[in-house]
Structure 1
């Protein structure tokens, strides 16, 4: 009886890593310390999905912690497959969010060519709003106001909800600025860094057809975080 050809994608892996790479359908959580080979497991698993199971690269979404890591992941997978995984999405949460938002921009009051505000741009917009609304920066520091708005966004707290909860003078000042900040961004056809996470969530919550489209597109979601 002939022996099965060895799977080169399993070379150099320990038993736990092999188990993770061989996992095909359903959720899987890999917990390990830094430098223990988690990224290697993920890249081998993606390569095996494509090579062994015939998964089309465009059905794979891989999320990493930096853009550099995403580039290295693609390079590793291409080396393992000896070809580019054309159509596969790989990037950080923010870069994936930005990409999703390009398509769905009209659903949140933007165009696909919207501008991404960096920290300086966002800070300048908030500073102008504070001046217009007579919010004293000596009493309420710009950094603190910007941070409070960012925290609210990341907790998916809308300007109206934030205003309803504002009790102390600082929160009330933030609420006034936050209420104007969102329409300011829309008018400028812009999104700040937090919006790259928040706006795609809003699109998926409020527009089921977009959620279903992504579910059909991405059959395998792998996160290296």
Structure 2
């Protein structure tokens, strides 16, 4: 966009920052609408996101309070928020934007779960819940789930022949999976019942299929665990308690039940930035897409840096971004592929290592390139026999 009052370069000069690369400039100055940015490791994504916000503010597209930025950790949220606030303060002192905007109308930069928890707590009464209930920590959740297991008189517990601790772990794991994937326990009950019917089928001339029986056996305890997980959820609700895994699911229930809540959030936040989008879970993706489909949402991520698969996250979210947020129209796609953090040899090794991953995704991932200032320090490879030796080798 070339007809704006302030270009990305002009703003960088005013802030005393290095001018953006052509890739960064394309992201910072892109047209309003859904956009996907594939940002490689060390490619300056935080600086680019901050630059995007400042460019929008300086050119009058939004006010600070109309910006929502979401990421995974409080540390990352604090870093992005601090960077944006400092840039706003500097620009205000130069007269490029109103002097009082930061104090009166700050951007909202927080974690995905904190944002969801705010939606839930502000509207808890709509779900018949308490808005001031405590967040249940891991230890307290364990104690509550274990008490349900210990106090249960279900005869199936004796038949399963597992220790209370193992059953408690299984109940918690299942409870979290139900929340993260927004699955109703009754549906899973029905699935388990259909699997159980396989054991009653005629064997035929060749006998029963071992694999089918193995599947039936693996889900045989599922009805019991579902009942215990349901009791666990009911106990939390009675006590007004919410687990970390429940926060997004409850927020999703709110916006699905009352359209007004979603409409108010869309009106409030005219620009949305989603950091580390490859690590969003199923329920997080549903919440965000149902809130902001067709909205000016910029998702930043990298399928090669996905680390939260253990809790339902999937880099496939990047592939499905256009479906979730495009509202039937194409989305803008950008890349940040210059790594400012690593030298030539490290990048060559990294590109070689992630090569097999490229065949598993339809997202266009560009090979990382070294910055003009990159070093050529060689890469050493060692294979130690023990953890202690490996630690000592890394420390040298």
TM over 0.5, shorter chain: yes
Matched, 1:46 2:62: no
Equivalent residue for 1:224? 275
Equivalent residue for 1:156? 182
Deviation at 1:159, TM superposition (A): 2.5
Deviation at 1:117, TM superposition (A): 0.8
Q: 2:145 aligns with which of 126, 135, 158?
A: 126
Higher mean C-alpha deviation, range 140-149 or range 109-118: 140-149
**Deviation string for 1:23-81 (max 9, x for gaps)?**
14101111021211111111111122222224122211100121111111111011111
Equivalent residue for 1:115? 134
Please report the RMSD computed on the Cα atoms of aligned residues, expressed in angstroms: 2.1
Q: What is the rounded CA distance, in whole Å, between the counterparts of 1:89 and 1:162 in structure 2?
A: 38
Q: What is the rounded CA distance, in whole Å, between the counterparts of 1:34 and 1:146 in structure 2?
A: 34
Equivalent residue for 2:172? 146
Deviation at 1:166, TM superposition (A): 3.0
Three-state SS of the structure 2 residue aligned to 1:31 is strand
Equivalent residue for 2:232? 181
Three-state SS of the structure 2 residue aligned to 1:62 is strand
Deviation at 1:186, TM superposition (A): 1.3
Q: What is the rounded CA distance, in whole Å, between the counterparts of 2:247 and 2:87 in structure 1?
A: 32
Q: What is the rounded CA distance, in whole Å, between the counterparts of 2:189 and 2:65 in structure 1?
A: 42
Three-state SS of the structure 2 residue aligned to 1:141 is helix
Whether the aligned pair in 2 keeps the contact of 1:154 and 1:194 (CA below 8 Å) is yes
Higher mean C-alpha deviation, range 163-172 or range 116-125: 163-172
Deviation at 1:194, TM superposition (A): 0.9
Q: What is the rounded CA distance, in whole Å, between the counterparts of 1:33 and 1:170 in structure 2?
A: 43
Matched, 1:212 2:238: no
Which structure 1 residue ranges, 5 or more long, are not aligned? Answer: none
Three-state SS of the structure 1 residue aligned to 2:35 is coil
TM-score, length-scaled by structure 2? 0.53
Deviation at 1:9, TM superposition (A): 3.4
Which structure 2 residue ranges, 5 or more long, are not aligned? Answer: 93-101, 194-218, 277-396
